[in-house]
């Protein structure tokens, strides 16, 4: 913007004068609107001209500047007002020109549109004739392609026939493969009759070639003593014509592999259309399609005699087809796998390797045999849903079969076995129901057994640290067996259902232990009560170890990722986050309940023990500590006669608890007993009596030489668990001079603290030098007052 002129500055000053607050004679503010022009001018002159008469000569210059600036402003206003009309007229002229141009364009558009419309009307007959001609040409072209395709099929069919007549099997197989490729190319075609003709032709010639190769292949297999139904006792290589038979075997296997493409195509189409399929592949539909590629064609042929034997023995009215004996056919299939392993590795596998295929002959044979078992297990499982005993037996045998299949037969883990059959909804729910029912029955039996509360390792000290009763150990073994059963399931959600069942069983067993404990709570020192406590501790220890087990950690991650409500329950976001970061455990809730039960039982046990010890300690509390002679007057120090019942009771209880409690529980027991006994002796013996020097010495002797050593069998420094008694004995046994100095120091420090609030040095440092760390200065003053030898 341009710089302000003098007139503008002056005008601004006048404006500022109106906006500047003004006060009247009374000191009140006057608004600018109420001020007159005369007042403004007067204020302006006083401010810019002033009251000096000599400065009035500047008025002429100021007036001249104002007139010049006023003239400039008038010129600017005139120039602006005169320049507006030419710009408006120019804009109107441009708009008029644009309107005229638009009208011309619209006229040209209408003219061209009319001309184009007339041209299209004249060319329409030509377009109709040309369209008909093109449609006719297209129809002829499609007919020609159809006829050429049909001719090609007939040529391939004739070529296959000619090759078979001249025994040119390889050329026939190539022609059949060409048919299969053509069939794949016509997969999206609408020519259904052509597709049907091609597929029928392909199926016809494929079956002829396959049957011829199958017959020759079976002859060679027969010469090689296939199938091998018993363990081979001699070399697989025949003694006569061995080289020739091996050459024929390799040729036939290679030709069958070359026929695999068309065979897979026909098998897949048969499965899709619901037609009959070879028996060796009938059960593959029970496995996930992505994990069940078609069997290798040579292996399919090799499986036919085994499939016939299997169906002969384990279907129909044969005695070997028994629902109560699934192990018969499962064991038979495992035997066939084991007996045929050497033949497959020595005879078939080298041929497959030379053919460039990535196929394992042994695994392919196992897959084929496994398909037979899958069909059989699926049928038997649906028939046994209402028989718990036979259903459990079938599950056990299937799990054992799966274990041997993966370990002994080296069956790959990525391929499905039999376990996926147990994951079907009705079968899995039945399995869970039976597991729960059997576990509850076993819990009832184990808790009511005669030796339920005794340890089977009680006579073997090295194996009896936990002193777990037989019922608890049997219960945890039951849970471990359940874990081993569902550990190999390929579905984490199914595994989590079994984990939820285990947690229910643990909580049920805890409730049963609580009920038995309440019956035995009248005698907490009894063997059964302690056995229940050992059982709770044993289960808690095992569950804590399971929380760190890799398998259960994986289940924990699966529960978090799947959001299993049955496992996570009502856990908040923080708890779920802890589980996701492996900071928590799936057994935390159960462990908290078990620890609470253990704490309650331990507290009741110690309370009962202290009640007995307290009863034995009454004579000791009432002993005449004030009248006992000094240590110099006694030849030898002996245990106070009144302390003997207490010491014997403490000793007997410690020995008893050590025998009946596990090591970890006994550690808690004797430490808790020491803490309670320390507080009792301090409160009821020391603070309730006055002591002479002889009485204090006798108390220290009883404690340090008799009571503390009773606990010395279980730790190196038992006095550390009797801090109140030990430090009280130190204060009571101080010599008179040291006691007086200590008392004066504590009193002075107490007075100094009351006055100034600052203690330098603090009294605790003097107590620490004497070995007193637990007792406060006020407690030490109380103990010093209990000494009869100190002047008050």
Residues 772-785 have a mean pLDDT of 91
Q: What is the pTM of this model?
A: 0.73
Q: What are 497-527's pLDDT values in tens digits?
A: 999 999 999 999 999 999 999 998 888 888 8
| pLDDT band at residue 122 under the 50/70/90 scheme | confident
Residues 732, 756, single domain; the answer is: yes
| pLDDT band at residue 562 under the 50/70/90 scheme | confident
In a domain, 472, yes or no: yes
> Which residues, 6 or more positions from 581, have their beta carbon under 8 angstroms from its beta carbon?
none
| pLDDT band at residue 773 under the 50/70/90 scheme | very high
Angle (CA) 595 599 601, round 5°: 115
Q: 105 pLDDT exceeds 60?
A: yes
Residues 548, 443, single domain; the answer is: yes
Q: 239 pLDDT exceeds 90?
A: no
| pLDDT band at residue 287 under the 50/70/90 scheme | very low
Q: pLDDT higher for 28 or 569?
A: 569
The domain in which residue 464 lies consists of: 434-598
How high is the pLDDT of residue 35? 56
Rounded-to-integer distance, Cα 249 and Cα 13, Å: 120
Q: What are 394-410's pLDDT values in tens digits?
A: 999 999 999 999 988 88
Q: 464 pLDDT exceeds 50?
A: yes
Which of 95-104, 378-387, 448-457, 566-575 shows the lowest mean pLDDT across its residues? 566-575
CATH code for the domain in which residue 669 is found: 1.20.58
Q: What are 673-720's pLDDT values in tens digits?
A: 999 999 999 999 999 999 988 899 999 999 999 999 999 999 999 999
Q: 30 pLDDT exceeds 50?
A: no
Which of 186-190, 316-320, 463-467 shows the lowest mean pLDDT across its residues? 463-467
Q: What are 92-102's pLDDT values in tens digits?
A: 888 888 889 88
Residues 176-202 have a mean pLDDT of 82
> Which residues, 6 or more positions from 225, have their beta carbon under 8 angstroms from its beta carbon?
236
How high is the pLDDT of residue 632? 63
Residues 26-39 have a mean pLDDT of 54
Which two structure tokens, joined as six digits, stand for 137? 């040409």
In a domain, 642, yes or no: yes
Query: What percentage of the chain carries pLDDT values higher than 90?
Result: 41
In a domain, 229, yes or no: no
Q: 18 pLDDT exceeds 80?
A: no
Q: 302 pLDDT exceeds 60?
A: yes
Residues 629, 720, single domain; the answer is: yes
Residues 447, 418, single domain; the answer is: no
C-alpha distances out from residue 235 to 37, 340, 345, Å: 135, 13, 13
Number of domains in the chain: 4
Which two structure tokens, joined as six digits, stand for 189? 């075609």
Rounded-to-integer distance, Cα 674 and Cα 687, Å: 18
How high is the pLDDT of residue 10? 44
Q: 438 pLDDT exceeds 90?
A: yes
| pLDDT band at residue 585 under the 50/70/90 scheme | confident
What are 720-725's contacts with CB under 8 Å, separation 24+? 721/671, 721/674, 721/675, 721/678, 722/674, 722/677, 722/678, 722/681, 723/678, 723/773, 723/774, 724/678, 724/679, 724/681, 724/682, 724/774, 724/775, 725/678, 725/681, 725/682, 725/686
Residues 465, 403, single domain; the answer is: no
In a domain, 37, yes or no: no
Residues 415, 515, single domain; the answer is: no
How high is the pLDDT of residue 71? 83
How high is the pLDDT of residue 792? 66
Chosen domain end from 422, 445, 480: 422
Chosen domain end from 374, 399, 422: 422
Q: How many CB atoms lie within 10 A of CB 748?
A: 12
In a domain, 568, yes or no: yes
Which of 287-291, 343-347, 381-385, 611-615 shows the lowest mean pLDDT across its residues? 287-291
How high is the pLDDT of residue 55? 56
Query: What percentage of the chain carries pLDDT values higher than 70?
Result: 82
| pLDDT band at residue 461 under the 50/70/90 scheme | low
Residues 405, 522, single domain; the answer is: no
Residues 369-391 have a mean pLDDT of 93
Q: 28 pLDDT exceeds 70?
A: no
How high is the pLDDT of residue 343? 92
Residues 458, 507, single domain; the answer is: yes
Residues 562, 632, single domain; the answer is: no
Residues 444, 370, single domain; the answer is: no
Residues 570, 513, single domain; the answer is: yes
| pLDDT band at residue 272 under the 50/70/90 scheme | low
Which of 47-56, 169-178, 507-516 shows the lowest mean pLDDT across its residues? 47-56
Q: How many CB atoms lie within 10 A of CB 247?
A: 12
Residues 509, 657, single domain; the answer is: no
| pLDDT band at residue 69 under the 50/70/90 scheme | confident
């Amino acid at each position: 913007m341009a710089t302000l002129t003098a007139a503008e500055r002056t005008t601004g000053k006048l404006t500022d004068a109106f906006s500047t607050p003004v006060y009247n004679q009374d000191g009140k503010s006057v608004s600018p609107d109420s001020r007159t022009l005369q007042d403004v001018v007067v204020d302006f002159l006083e401010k810019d001209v002033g009251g000096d008469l000599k400065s009035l000569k500047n008025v002429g210059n100021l007036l001249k500047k104002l007139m010049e600036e006023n003239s400039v402003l008038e010129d600017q206003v005139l120039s602006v007002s005169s320049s507006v009309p030419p710009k408006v007229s120019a804009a109107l002229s441009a708009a008029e020109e644009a309107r005229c141009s638009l009208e011309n364009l619209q006229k040209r558009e209408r003219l061209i549109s009319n001309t184009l419309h007339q041209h299209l009307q004249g060319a329409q007959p030509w377009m109709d004739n040309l369209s008909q001609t093109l449609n006719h040409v297209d129809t002829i072209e499609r007919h020609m392609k159809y006829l050429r395709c049909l001719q090609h099929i007939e040529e391939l069919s004739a070529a296959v026939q000619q090759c078979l007549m001249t025994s040119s099997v390889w050329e026939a197989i190539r022609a059949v493969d060409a048919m299969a490729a053509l069939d794949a190319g016509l997969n999206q075609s609408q020519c259904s009759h052509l597709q049907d003709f091609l597929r029928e032709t392909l199926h016809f010639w494929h079956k002829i070639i396959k049957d011829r190769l199958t017959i020759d292949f079976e002859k060679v297999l027969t010469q090689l003593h296939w199938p091998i139904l018993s363990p081979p006792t001699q070399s697989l290589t025949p003694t006569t014509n061995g080289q020739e038979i091996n050459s024929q075997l390799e040729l036939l296997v290679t030709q069958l592999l070359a026929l695999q493409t068309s065979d897979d195509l026909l098998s897949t189409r048969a499965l899709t259309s619901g037609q009959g399929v070879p028996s060796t592949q009938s059960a593959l539909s029970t496995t996930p399609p992505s994990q069940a590629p078609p069997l290798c064609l040579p292996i399919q042929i090799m499986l036919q005699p085994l499939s016939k034997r299997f169906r002969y023995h384990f279907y129909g009215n044969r005695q070997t087809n028994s629902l109560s004996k699934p192990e018969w056919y499962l064991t038979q299939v495992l035997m066939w796998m084991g007996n045929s392993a050497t033949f497959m590795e020595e005879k078939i596998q080298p041929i497959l390797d030379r053919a460039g295929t990535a196929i394992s002959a042994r695994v392919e044979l196992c897959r084929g045999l496994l398909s037979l078992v899958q069909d059989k297990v699926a049928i038997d499982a649906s028939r046994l849903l209402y028989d718990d005993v036979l259903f459990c037996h079938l599950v056990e045998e299937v799990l054992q079969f799966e274990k041997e299949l993966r370990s002994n037969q080296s069956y790959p883990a990525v391929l499905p076995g039999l376990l996926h059959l147990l994951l079907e909804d009705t079968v899995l729910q039945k399995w869970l129901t039976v597991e729960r029912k059997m576990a509850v029955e076993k819990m009832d039996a184990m808790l009511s057994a005669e030796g339920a509360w005794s340890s089977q390792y009680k006579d073997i000290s090295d194996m009896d640290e936990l002193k777990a009763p037989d019922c608890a150990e049997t219960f945890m073994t039951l849970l471990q067996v359940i874990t081993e059963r569902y550990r190999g399931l390929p579905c984490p959600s199914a595994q989590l259902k079994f984990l939820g069942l285990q947690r229910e069983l643990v909580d049920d067993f805890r409730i049963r232990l609580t009920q038995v404990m309440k019956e035995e709570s009248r005698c907490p020192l009894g063997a059964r009560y302690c056995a229940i406590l050992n059982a709770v501790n044993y289960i808690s220890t095992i569950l804590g170890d399971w929380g760190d087990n890799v398998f259960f950690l994986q289940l924990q991650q699966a529960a978090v990722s799947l959001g299993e409500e049955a496992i996570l329950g009502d856990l908040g976001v923080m708890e779920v986050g802890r589980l996701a970061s492996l900071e928590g455990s799936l057994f935390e809730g159960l462990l908290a309940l078990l620890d609470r039960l253990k704490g309650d039982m331990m507290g009741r046990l110690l309370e009962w023990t202290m009640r007995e010890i307290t009863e034995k300690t009454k004579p000791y509390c009432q002993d005449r500590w004030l009248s006992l002679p000094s240590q110099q007057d006694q030849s030898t120090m002996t245990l106070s006669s009144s302390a003997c019942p207490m010491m014997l009771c403490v000793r007997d209880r410690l020995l008893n608890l050590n025998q009946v409690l596990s090591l970890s529980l006994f550690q808690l027991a004797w430490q808790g007993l020491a803490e309670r006994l320390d507080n009792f002796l301090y409160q009821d013996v020391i603070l309730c009596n006055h002591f002479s020097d002889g009485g204090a010495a006798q108390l220290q002797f009883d404690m340090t030489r008799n009571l503390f050593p009773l606990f010395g069998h279980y730790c190196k420094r038992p006095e550390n668990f009797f801090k109140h008694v030990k430090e009280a004995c130190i204060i009571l046994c101080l010599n008179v001079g040291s006691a007086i100095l200590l008392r004066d120091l504590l009193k002075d420090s107490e007075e100094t603290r009351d006055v100034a609030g600052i203690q330098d040095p603090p009294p605790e440092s003097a107590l620490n030098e004497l070995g007193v760390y637990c007792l406060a200065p006020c407690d030490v003053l109380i103990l010093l007052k209990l000494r009869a030898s100190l002047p008050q």
